[in-house]
Amino acid sequence: MAKFLVNGGRALEGEISVSGSKNASLPALAASLLFSDAPPLFQNLPEIEDIKRMKELLQSQKDGRFDYEVAKKIRASILAVGPALARFGRSSFPHPGGCVIGARPIDVFFDGWKAMGAIVEKTPPSGKKPGFLAVSKPGFEELGGVHSIPIYEIRAPQGLRGCDFTFRVPSVTGTEGLMMTAVLAQGRTILRNVAEEPEILSLADWLNKNGAKIGGAGTHTITIEGRGGKLLSGQVPFLAPPDRIEAGSLAILGAIAAKKMTIKNFPENELTALLGVLKTARAEFEITHHDHSLFPSITLKRATKLRAVNVQTKEYPGFATDLQAPYTVLATQAEGVSMIHETIFEGRLNYVEDLNKIGARINLCDPHRAIVHGPSNLTGWNLEGPDIRAGLAFLIAALVARGESQIGNIYQIDRGHEKIDARLRALGADIKRMEA
Ligand code: EPZ
């Protein structure tokens, strides 16, 4: 397994530019199934593993059936099911994989598709007993090292019709997936209690430029005028916006490790919650707007004395759950006691035990709450990132820690961050990629 070898404690200096947004690009790629044969161009996509997997998945699909081995690697595979169902009238796929940060059910998707007239079964195409895919999974040795994940078959024999559907929980990919499905349905669809993340708005804006009729994206209620099966034929390219989660994570790094670090293409307006917390924590940063660029840049210096601040993750525009792990590393460097309250996922604080191994002092009160005592001196250690964002948090911790660290399982970091080692080296970080 490839690793990063990091010598921490260096003061970072220079400029870094934010890559294209992973979570805006994935639904846009999935939406290519809504277009007649020549899908539009995609620009500024990040060169990351999840984008490669999504492209492989889309190339693997035949009449709405997806390659199970690819689909189970990323949660975003579920994004392609709605467009496939809308285009082919059917789809077959395994329960999506991706970051292990909780149970991550997909009931909202099923309930929305059923409301549009689809039939969902756990039966494999062959029609045998309920479909299960045997996959090797550590910790399932007693089952011969295999763990089975369900395969779903979904059909819309009478076509899809518009509906008035209220989300049980405002799911981001659920909003994107059902919005895309509704684009080809017959008649009007109203989706209520939906997510309001910026990635939903950028998807809707782009689809509207190519012939869709979507209103309300970015608010709690979205209305879609369905096209009755008529595919989109526009050719307006998709331009990935800057990745707000990468931008926020780099800002957190700068606040604790920079001599003087400038982040370009910084989507300030999508990071108000983080910037508010950084200001309260007395982080030292300055935002500069430029005539020549749509997005400002932010320049950060390591704060002389960071103050502990309580953080609660919330749906957008609240404090992003994807920034929770990187922020916890900052909290270990702040003076005082910080409460980290993760309200979105029940399994997204597991990484704190590993931070304690390198010198942090964090009490995990329950699956949703951690108390961080700071400041702590972090020392280099071998860490293995369990998911994209905790993996990056460990990298941030290694850059701050004294001595040498080895970060394993860096595929997880490469899933969400393009050439992150080369980009950090350009800032003076002592980081090497050791191939397996
Ligand atoms: C998206 O995941 C993002 N992924 C996640 O980023 C992000 O953490 C999450 O939204 C929350 O902001 C992509 O956009 C590809 P949800 P998603 O459905 O859509 C529950 C990263 O690192 N829920 O909004 O899967 C769910 O369990 C990733 O880039 C149901 O109960 O998240 C969770 O508690 C990690 N039933 C809550 O909703 C459902 O059918 C929010 O999840 C769907 C979700």
Same domain? For 223 and 179 the reply is yes
Q: Are residues 183 and 257 in the same domain?
A: no
Q: Of 213, 239, 265, which residue is a domain's last?
A: 239
Unique residue bearing structure tokens 């981001």: 172
Share of the chain above pLDDT 90, in %: 84
Ligand 1 probe mutation, 173, 181, 245, 414, most atoms within 8 A of CB: 173
pLDDT in tens, 105-162: 899 999 999 999 999 988 544 444 445 554 444 444 433 444 567 889 999 999 999 9
Residues 388 and 270 in one domain: yes
209 band by pLDDT with thresholds 50, 70 and 90: very high
Would you say 207 and 183 are in contact if contact means Cβ atoms under 8 Å apart?
Answer: yes
Same structural domain, 94 and 173:
yes
Q: Atom 27 of ligand 1 has which residue's CA nearest to it? A: 104
The verdict on 139 and 255 lying in the same domain is no
Question: What does pLDDT average to over the chain?
Answer: 93
Residue of 39, 26, 34 lying closest to 83 (CA atoms): 34
Compute, in angstroms, the gap from residue 334 CA to the centroid of ligand 1. Answer: 29
Q: Are residues 231 and 257 in the same domain?
A: no
Q: Give the chain's domain count.
A: 2
pTM over 0.85: yes
Give the residue-averaged pLDDT of 223-245. 97
* DSSP H helical ranges for 210-300: 244-257, 272-280
Nearest CA, atom 4, ligand 1: 23
> Is 365 an active-site residue?
no
Report the binding-site residues for phosphoenolpyruvate: 22-23
Task: Show the tokens assigned to 273.
Answer: 């919650």
Tell me: do 428 and 319 sit in the same domain: yes
pLDDT of residue 347: 92
Ligand 1 midpoint to CA 101 (Å): 9
| Percent with pLDDT over 70 in the chain | 94
What residue numbers bound the domain in which 295 lies?
3-19+244-434
Q: Is the pLDDT assigned to residue 1 strictly greater than 70?
A: yes
d(CA 371, CA 269): 29
Give the mean model confidence (pLDDT) for residues 400-422. 96
Q: What pLDDT, in 10s, does the model give residues 226-236?
A: 999 999 999 99
**For residue 292, what are the contacts with CB-CB under 8 A and spacing of at least 6?**
none
Cα 23 to averaged position of ligand 1 atoms, centre (Å): 11
Q: pLDDT of 39-98, one tens digit each?
A: 789 999 999 999 999 999 999 999 999 988 888 888 899 999 999 999 999 999 988 877
What was the pLDDT predicted at 29? 98
- Ligand 1 atom with the shortest distance to the CA of 344: 34
- Asked if the peptide bond before residue 317 counts as cis, ω within 30 degrees of 0, the response is yes
403 burial level (CB within 10 Å; 0-12, 13-18, 19+):
middle
pLDDT score recorded for residue 130: 45
User: Tell me, what CATH number does 184's domain have?
Assistant: 3.65.10.10
pLDDT exceeds 90 at position 14: yes
pLDDT at 131: 52
Atom in ligand 1 nearest the alpha carbon of residue 316: 12
Candidate of 49, 104, 389 to mutate for ligand 1, largest count of ligand atoms within 8 Å of Cβ: 104
Ligand 1 centroid to residue 183 C-alpha, Å: 22
Helix axes 388-400, 244-257, angle to 10 degrees: 20
Please, which pLDDT band fits residue 380 given cuts at 50, 70 and 90?
confident
Residue to substitute in 167, 172, 243, 415 for testing ligand 1 pocket (most ligand atoms within 8 angstroms of CB):
172
Ligand 1 surroundings by CB, under 6 angstroms: 22-23, 26, 75-76, 99, 102-109, 169, 171-174, 195, 321-322, 344-345, 388-389, 416
Do residues 232 and 252 both lie within one domain? no
Detail the residues annotated as belonging to a binding site. Answer: 22-23, 75, 322, 344
* 272-302 confidence digits (pLDDT tens): 999 999 999 999 999 999 999 999 999 999 9
pLDDT at 6 over 90: yes
Same domain, residue pair 199 and 322: no
pLDDT value at 177 more than 70: yes
Task: Output the residue whose Cα is nearest ligand 1's atom 26.
Answer: 104
Indicate if the pLDDT at residue 426 is higher than 80: yes
> Alpha-carbon distance 290 to 198, whole Å?
22
DSSP 403: S
Whether 318 shows a pLDDT value over 90: the answer reads: yes
pLDDT of 140 reads 40
- Catalytic annotation, pick one of 29, 99, 163, 214: 99
The atom of ligand 1 lying closest to the CA of 76 is: 15
Same domain, 223 and 272: no
Choosing from 239, 273, 288, the residue where a domain stops is 239
- Between the CA of 104 and the centroid of ligand 1 the distance, in Å, is 7
Q: Note whether 332 and 352 are same-domain residues.
A: yes
Residues 349, 303 share a domain: yes
Ligand 1: which residue has its CA nearest to atom 40? 106
Closest atom of ligand 1 relative to the 22 alpha carbon: 29
Please give the distance, rounded to the nearest whole angstrom, from the Cα atom of residue 173 to the centre of ligand 1. Answer: 6
Do residues 112 and 165 lie in contact, with contact meaning Cβ atoms separated by under 8 Å?
yes
